[in-house]
Copies of this chain bind each other. A is one copy, B any other.
Amino acid sequence: MPLPQLTQARAPLTREIEVVNEFGARETIAIPAERDLTVYVDKRELVTLMTLGAHPEWLVLGYLLNQRLIASVDEIESITVDWDVNAASVKTRQGIDRIEERTSKRVVTTGCGQGSVFGNLMDEIDSIRLPESAVLRQSQLYAIVNAIRLKESTYKSAGSVHACALFHGEALQLFVEDVGRHNAVDTIAGWMCLQEGLPDGEKIFYTTGRLTSEMVIKSAQMGVAVVISRSGITQMGLDVAQRVGLCAIGRATNKHFLCYASPQRLVMDAVPALAPQPLRVRA
């Protein structure tokens, strides 16, 4: 089956605005250029996404996959994004079966907002089999955290966005930023399904956002057994990670991290030297 035809619609990621600071002085800063994108599937309106719009076609593809509205990229003939009308037009090869019914159940999820996960993703997690062999070496983890630190980004210039990245071992495959971290992970899912021959066991997912249940589920759905976050984890994120055997790492900054789940996947090959203890002078 040929890959779907995708446009490459681009739009500016930041916008300059004038603000007033604490001294009463005007200054010019950049903010993220969030915009709305209404998704039509076979001419039927599905949903409106708020996005930075860096890779809207991959975002829409990943959204359809992660919401389980399509099972494979083969079902899509084309995705056409037009920023003049803020629309993404998806053409399927054979239609999406029972789309009304499958988009009718709403779960308002954590995120920072009230996310909407169609259907019953939670019901699906018991069928997920993550590769047994997948491990994370501590040295890889440190290389990944450093690679993210060095990345030029919208976050550095404008703030207020989340980033996700997919690594193959220590090699960065794709770095995506968006106003919502779920858009960023969906974009990665969309990109992944267009690639061939990414070996499952080597995939490592990085996110700046918290490890909520949806974030962990989405990673597991993509066959990724190792997730690293700069932030923490929530109880339901932990529950899902334990249930699917996903190695969940959080608070990853500099040399520090916490492994919340599946520590057996962690290879401690770069344990830092303990910081020297301050001398204690007897009083």
Contact = CB atoms under 8 A, between A and B. Distances in A.
Contact of A116 (B15, B114, B237, B255): B114
Interface residues of A, number: 69
Contact of A268 (B24, B32, B260): B24
A107 interface: yes
A235 B114 contact: no
A183 B108 CA distance: 10
A235 B115 contact: no
A86 to B, nearest CB: 12
A263 to B, nearest CB: 4
A28 to B, nearest CB: 11
Contacts of A259: 19-21
A209 B238 CA distance: 23
A108 B234 contact: no
Interface in A223-277: 231-238, 251, 255-260, 263, 266, 268, 271-272, 274
A182 B271 contact: no
B106 A113 contact: no
A50 B112 CA distance: 11
Contacts of A234: 31-32, 34, 160, 179
A89 interface: no
Contacts of A160: 210, 231-234
A22 B271 contact: yes
A242 B147 CA distance: 38
Interface string A106-142: 1111111111110000000000000000000010000
Interface string A142-173: 00000000000000001110100000000000
Given A112-B112, A183-B114, A23 B271 contact: yes
Nearest to A115: B113
A23 B272 CA distance: 7
Given A158-B232, A231-B160, A234-B160, A180 B31 contact: no
B181 A112 contact: yes
Interface of A: 15, 17, 19-24, 27, 29, 31-36, 47-50, 103, 106-117, 138, 158-160, 162, 179-183, 209-210, 212-214, 231-238, 251, 255-260, 263, 266, 268, 271-272, 274
